[in-house]
């Protein structure tokens, strides 16, 4: 029934102008406006994500809403840090280093990953394969 639907994902923000600036200027994504209803993020895979304003009722996602696979996680974390992005620090089951990267040394451990938040508090990540 829906196998041919052009499905897309979406999430809310509390300030659309801040979100547009963050995703386009800080992260470098192509972003288009949708007639005042929101913005569309155009991802490298060809997928699109709709970001819509929710105002004061917005609650940040408590899970990762976007994952960005990268070749060199250290370089990307360094570049984003220079742009003012703060990487989360975890010291529980997941342990991050001083840069905010949870490092993987074996494929069975999953990717090395670093989490950060957009201006609305939604969680995003950059990650790289453990074999890289």
Residue 36 covered by a domain: yes
| Whole-number Å distance between alpha carbons of 48 and 9 | 7
Residue 130: the pLDDT is 63
| Whole-number Å distance between alpha carbons of 40 and 43 | 9
Residue 71 covered by a domain: yes
Give the CATH number for residue 104.
3.10.180.10
Residue 56 covered by a domain: yes
Residues (pLDDT < 50) of the chain are none
Residue 3 covered by a domain: no
56: its two tokens: 């004061």
Residue 1 covered by a domain: no
Residue 115: the pLDDT is 98
Q: How many domains does the chain have?
A: 1
Q: What is the pLDDT of residues 4-31, one digit of tens each?
A: 988 889 999 999 999 999 999 999 999 9
Residue 10: the pLDDT is 96
| Whole-number Å distance between alpha carbons of 22 and 28 | 8
The residue range of the domain holding 20 is 9-128
Residue 2 covered by a domain: no
| Eight-state DSSP code of residue 80 | H
The pTM of the full predicted model, rounded to 2 decimals, is 0.92
Q: H/E element holding 67?
A: strand 64-69
């Amino acid at each position: 029934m829906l196998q041919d639907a052009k499905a897309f994902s979406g999430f809310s923000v509390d300030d659309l102008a801040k979100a547009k600036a963050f995703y386009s200027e800080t992260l470098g994504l192509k972003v288009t406006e949708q007639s005042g209803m929101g913005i569309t993020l155009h991802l490298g895979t060809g997928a699109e994500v709709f970001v819509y304003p929710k105002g004061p009722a917005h609650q940040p996602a408590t899970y990762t809403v976007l994952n960005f696979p990268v070749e060199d996680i250290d370089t990307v974390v360094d570049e984003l840090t220079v742009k003012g992005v703060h990487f989360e620090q975890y010291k529980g089951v997941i342990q991050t280093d001083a840069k905010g990267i949870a490092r993987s040394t074996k494929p069975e451990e999953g990717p090395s990953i670093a989490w950060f938040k957009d201006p609305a508090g939604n969680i995003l990540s950059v990650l790289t394969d453990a074999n890289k």
